Amino acid sequence: MLESLGVLTSSPWVYAVIAASVLFDVFLPVLPSGVLVITAATAAAAGTGAAAAGSGVASGAMPHNVPDILTLILSAATASVLGDFVAYRIGLRGGERLARTIARSRRLTTAQERLGGALSRGGGILVVIARFAPAGRSIVSLGAGVARRRVREFLPWSALAGVTWAGYSVGLGYFGGRWLGATWLGTGVSVLALFAAGSGAAYLVRRSPGATASTA
């Protein structure tokens, strides 16, 4: 696996590629940003294992051709918050047109009402949970702008969501790589765990007690 992706994972450009993918998947949720983060973290785990085994790496130092874990988290989290803010501003400026688009979808309307109620009561943990749900980040960020929520209500929760999601994704790839090896199996199990978290987050958003109250 790492041989087929070696050009990317061994290059400093891996951070830029991951940041771009995370930044734009708020508009194109089909982008494999989570898979890229997990793959890079798996490569980092392989490098750590090689260093610990003394495979040509002096004094146990990390090899120079594998991603750095903290830099991966920082890149993914920063791009996540920036993408959220851009989507929020688009929703804020889009105004009536986006509001009409949302109004035509019962699902989007309900999600927007839930978000507004949660933020107004300081329950922005919904923003963090929605970050893991499929397309949840897009709905939350655009919806917060359309609903004209104050940026100080939304952005801190977006930052917490970005750090949580990035840390979880990197952790899955890293520990999956350490425990199961830098193979397709290890990466596949980590990706499945990420998808499972997304399914669980979607369920929690739908069943949120505060959300139900906001639509009552």
Question: Three-class SS string for 43-93?
Answer: HHHHHHHHHHCCCCCHHHCCCCCCCCHHHHHHHHHHHHHHHHHHHHHHHHH
Residue 124 pLDDT: 75
Instruction: Say how far apart CA 116 and CA 67 lie, in whole Å.
Output: 38
Residue 60 pLDDT: 44
**H/E element, 117:** helix 106-120
Region 20-32 average pLDDT = 87
119 exposure class (CB count in 10 Å sphere: 0-12, 13-18, 19+): buried
Instruction: Say how far apart CA 169 and CA 37 lie, in whole Å.
Output: 6
Residues 153-186 pLDDT 10s: 889 999 999 999 999 999 999 998 888 776 777 7
Distance of CA 6 to the CA centre of its chain: 23
Residues 125-152 pLDDT 10s: 888 988 998 888 888 888 788 778 888 8
pTM of the model: 0.78
Instruction: Say how far apart CA 12 and CA 36 lie, in whole Å.
Output: 14
Interhelix angle for 151-180 vs 136-146, to 10°?
A: 170
Question: Where in the chain are the domains?
Answer: 6-215
212: pLDDT strictly greater than 90: no
Instruction: Say how far apart CA 7 and CA 108 lie, in whole Å.
Output: 40
**Residue with the larger pLDDT of the pair 56 and 179:** 179
